[in-house]
Amino acid sequence: MPDTLTITDNRTGKTYEIPIEFNTVRAMDFRQMKVDESDFGMMTYDPAFMNTASVKSRITYIDGDKGILQYRGYPIEQLAENSTSFLEVAYLLLHGDLPNTKQLDEWRTNIKLHTFVHENIKKLMEAFRYDAHPMGMFISTISALSTFYPEAKDVLKPEVRRKQIYRLIGKVPTIAAFAYRHSKGMPYVYPDNELTYAGNFLNMMFKIGETRYKPHPVLEHALTVLFILHADHEQNCSTNTMRSIGSSHIDPFSACAGAAAALWGPLHGGANEAVLRMLDEIGSKSKVPEIIKDVKEGKRKLMGFGHRVYKNYDPRAKVIKKLAYEVFEVTGKNPKLDLALELERIALEDDYFVKRKLYPNVDFYSGLIYEAMGFPMDFFPVLFAIPRTAGWLAHWEEHLMDPEQKIARPRQIYLGPTERKWIPLDQRK
Ligand code: SDX
């Protein structure tokens, strides 16, 4: 049987043969379907891209029904279990293969050369109020980086892209930590390039009087795993934003700021903060049935549950749940864990959630670990954005190099008023 669709347009009786490739059809193949010569031609309509592939990608594979997540073919469980460094996984996402020793050393060195930020960034941070949301500071400062590196607009030059990739992966932890220190009224801590990516981030966040900050190995490892788990997730809202902004050939700093803004939404990367606020609001197990009732009546969503793609347990949530116990050994158990476990237990038994295939996602448990490690709640989306910068950059570059891609500019179904005449002000109702 041929790989085609045979479509009959019953308005005209005409029949069309549409080729099928990768189990998809090209929307442009519908444009030929017209009722008469004046007809623009047929389009497809898919709000929120529920069933539309807008790109071809080789970076991350997800099977939502089976709960499978792979970066360049490597299962997320194996990366979380075996990789000892976030930068090794960032290399994998950006280059397509795990680095050998020489490649990893070179990659690390190049990124470490770009962990510092221009001193003016500190002055920029001072402009924010003491209680500015760190994600707002993060987004604004990432965008401001584009003014320090005007050459970054030369996005079609490989060597220019490479340097901005080093700069962004190197600087996002520094900018994030500076935002935190600003909110605490504490002096900024400069990067210590002898430490690992996660270790240096903890250093810039939590160093106080000690001459040299030594990260706790269990917490450093936990943060490395969390960074690995959050590094990429194919065409999620923020990555789609990165690709769309990048398609206009603006610099990657401006594109990253847009992607981070999309990530901040409570339906996306802002959910980890929303989960903890929901747990605080619930307060005790006795209130869980009431919350579940509100959710089932459509009054609110159960934050940290559900996913556009996963109709099974998010594989990342499984790893995070296990990691939580390792962290709590060191920090002491987060009292909200039992509440979260009870919420999950009840939800997974309840038909409302089972029928809609709503399972805990990456955000349901991550906040419990972050809070136990001493990060404030409003900082959680920033902890998501730091590692996801590597994923955004991998997709940004793949999009620029894709010969099939052009500037992103969707069509619309226009339902507004038809042409009408101007009405002078004194004649309007
Ligand atoms: C991330 O895309 C990615 O990959 C994202 C991410 C990544 O790594 O980049 O995985 C990270 O963003 C994880 C998701 C974090 N967000 C949340 O935890 C917020 C709560 N979740 C929901 O808002 C929702 O599940 C979404 C946004 C995640 C997905 O929404 P969809 O795919 O648009 O699903 P939907 O809203 O159409 O829901 C289908 C049904 C609806 O019920 P009915 O109208 O059919 O009766 O399920 C219900 C929804 O009301 N539903 C929920 C629910 N999520 C969906 N009901 C209660 N609580 C929820 N959390």
- Domains, the chain, in order of start with CATH, read 1-45 (no CATH), 64-268 (1.10.580.10), 271-372 (1.10.230.10)
- The average pLDDT across 157-185 equals 97
Closest CA to 315 of 96, 59, 70: 70
Residue 75: its pLDDT value, please? 98
Residue 13: its pLDDT value, please? 98
Q: Is the CB of 304 under 6 A from ligand 1?
A: yes
19-49 residue pLDDT tens: 999 999 999 999 999 999 999 999 999 999 9
Q: Is the CB of 306 under 6 A from ligand 1?
A: yes
Distance between alpha carbon 148 and the CA centroid of its chain, in Å? Answer: 25
φ, ψ at 75 (rounded to 5°): -60, 140
51-60 residue pLDDT tens: 999 999 999 9
CA of 67 to the centre of ligand 1 (A): 15
Which residue's CA lies nearest to atom 28 of ligand 1? 307
Confidence of residue 204 (pLDDT cuts 50, 70, 90): very high
Which residue's CA lies nearest to atom 18 of ligand 1? 304
306-349 residue pLDDT tens: 999 999 899 999 999 999 999 999 999 999 999 999 999 998 89
Q: What is the pTM of this model?
A: 0.96
Q: Is 363 a catalytic residue?
A: yes
Among 307, 314, 378, 395, the one annotated catalytic: 307
125-161 residue pLDDT tens: 999 999 999 999 999 999 999 999 999 999 999 999 9
Q: Is 221 a catalytic residue?
A: no
Closest CA to 355 of 311, 389, 390: 311
By residue count, the chain amounts to: 429
The mean of the pLDDT values for the chain is: 96
Confidence of residue 50 (pLDDT cuts 50, 70, 90): very high
- The average pLDDT across 398-414 equals 98
Share of the chain above pLDDT 90, in %: 98
Residue 84: its pLDDT value, please? 87
Share of the chain above pLDDT 70, in %: 100
Locate the ligand 1 atom nearest the alpha carbon of residue 275 and give its number: 18
Kindly report the number of other CB atoms within 10 A of residue 30's CB atom. Answer: 16
Which residue's CA lies nearest to atom 33 of ligand 1? 308
Q: Is 280 a catalytic residue?
A: no
